[in-house]
Each structure stands twice: as C-alpha cells, then as structure tokens.
Amino acid sequence: MFFSSCIAHPLISPKISQFGQPGNLHRNVEVDQRFTSALKIRTTDHPSQQARIGAGLLDEWSFARGTRLVIRQKVSTFIPFRKSFEVQASWLPTSQIASSVFTLGTAAVLPFYTLMVFAPKSELTKKSMESSVPFIVLGLLYAYLLYLSWTPDTLKLMFASKYWLPELSGMAKMFSSEMTLASAWIHLLAVDLFAARQVFQDGLQNQIETRHSVSLCLLFCPIGIVTHFVTKAAAKTAADDRHKMH
C-alpha cells in the first residue's frame, strides 16, 4: 500500500508543479494585467470620443491552471463627442441679442426725427426723408428678430380663437419673450417713422407746421397723426378766414 502510494504520487505531482505553482499563477496574472492596461490605453487614444466598453471580469480557478482573470468583451459602443462649429445665433444669449437690436433700432431712427423737428426745411432733411434706406434697415432687423423668436406655437398663440382671430391671452403669452418683444418694438419704430415721414411731407406740401405732430409720432404715433389732421384743418380754416376778410 505504501509502495503504491509512492508510485502514484510522482505521477500526479509533476502536473501540480507544472500548472499550479505560484510562478505560473503570477505569470498568468501579469499577462492579463498587461492586456488590461493595453485595453485602457487603446480606449483613451482618441480623447475626442467617449467610449463605453463593457467587459466581464471573472475570476476562474482550476486545480490545473490556478487563478486567472478572464476578460470577456462585450459589444463596444462608441459615442462620438460632437463639437459643433456651426455659426449660430446661440453664441450670444437671447436676452443680449434682443437688447442689442432694441438699442440699435432706437438709435437708428432718432437722427431722422431730430432733422424733421429741428431742421424741417433744410435740404438734408428733405433728402433723408425721401430715402428708403432707414425702412430697409428696420425691415431687416425685424425679419432677423422674427426668425429668432419664431416657434412652432407662434401661429397657435396668434390665432388661438376658433374663428382664427387673435386673443389677448395668447398675445400676452407670446410677448412674454424678450425676443418677441424686441421684434414688436422694431415693428413699431418702422411704422412710426413711416407715419412721421408722411406727416412731414404733407406739412411741407401744404405749408403746415408739423414739428409737434412729428414729435408725437415718435412717442404716440396715432395721437401724432390725429394732431396733424387737427392742425391741418385749423390751418385751412384760418386761411379761409383770411381770404374772406380780403
């Protein structure tokens, strides 16, 4: 019995010393660590991409091979890190764009009102008010703001009624946006300047004082128009009275 066990032991022990010795275990772990390090380096070669790599790390142990780290790779999904280089208006905050265009439009119309009020009979004023350049500039500014403020719900808010008519609640909600409010201001500036020009040219043609009416058109356009009609009617009545007296 003792002899048979001695014979059996050498037959088994070489296998144990070959596969289960600590040196072989250290070598297996070292190889797996190098593979894992190479995998990490490979995934970070491209910093402009974000990668999600799923791998199952399992500890396997066997009497023959010892303990090993087994890496089971799953399907790798690469998600590129998108860097947008498109020229967009979003480079600036929406409030800053609205404020800048609001100030620009207001400053653009003031020289024309100044000429009509303080130098109504000068050639510079007449030529300036015959030009269509200020209205083109205001129209472009308005179109730009309208483009930025337009949303899929704009028409729905404008024509919220079942009869496709504007409602006050919908308009109030729409004008709660600074961009929409700035576009409405540019719209008013263009219409007010056009009305003031009509008042000014009608005054030149009929030799009627228009400075007060033009000034009111800047601040309260409908009142300025009404004031001009009142002034025109009063001037005509005074002219008729002088004609009768002669």
Q: Which tens digit of pLDDT belongs to each residue from 172-227?
A: 888 888 999 999 999 999 999 999 999 999 999 999 999 999 999 998 999 999 99
Is 51 in the same domain as 128?
no
Q: What is the C-alpha to C-alpha distance for residues 147 and 157, in angstroms, rounded to an integer?
A: 16
Q: What is the C-alpha to C-alpha distance for residues 113 and 193, in angstroms, rounded to an integer?
A: 8
Q: Provide, for the chain, the percentages of residues in helix, strand and coil under a 3-state DSSP scheme, each rounded to the nearest 5.
A: 70, 10, 20
Is 46 in the same domain as 95?
no
Q: How would you class 224 by CB atoms within 10 Å of its CB: exposed for 0-12, middle for 13-18, buried for 19 or more? A: buried
**What are the tens digits of pLDDT across the range 16-57?**
344 444 444 444 444 445 544 544 444 444 444 443 444 444
Last residue of a domain, one of 80, 107, 135: 80
Is 93 in the same domain as 183?
yes
Is 223 in the same domain as 123?
yes
Is 94 in the same domain as 19?
no
Is 124 in the same domain as 214?
yes
- Radius of gyration over alpha carbons of the chain, in Å? 42
pTM to 2 decimals? Answer: 0.61
Domain that holds residue 142: 89-236
Last residue of a domain, one of 35, 56, 80: 80
1 domain residue, yes or no:
no
Is 72 in the same domain as 116?
no
CB 109 within 8 A of CB 194: no
Tally of CB atoms within 10 A around 33: 11
**What are the tens digits of pLDDT across the range 100-142?**
999 999 999 999 999 999 999 999 999 999 999 999 999 999 9
178 domain residue, yes or no:
yes
Count of structural domains within the chain? 2
243 domain residue, yes or no:
no
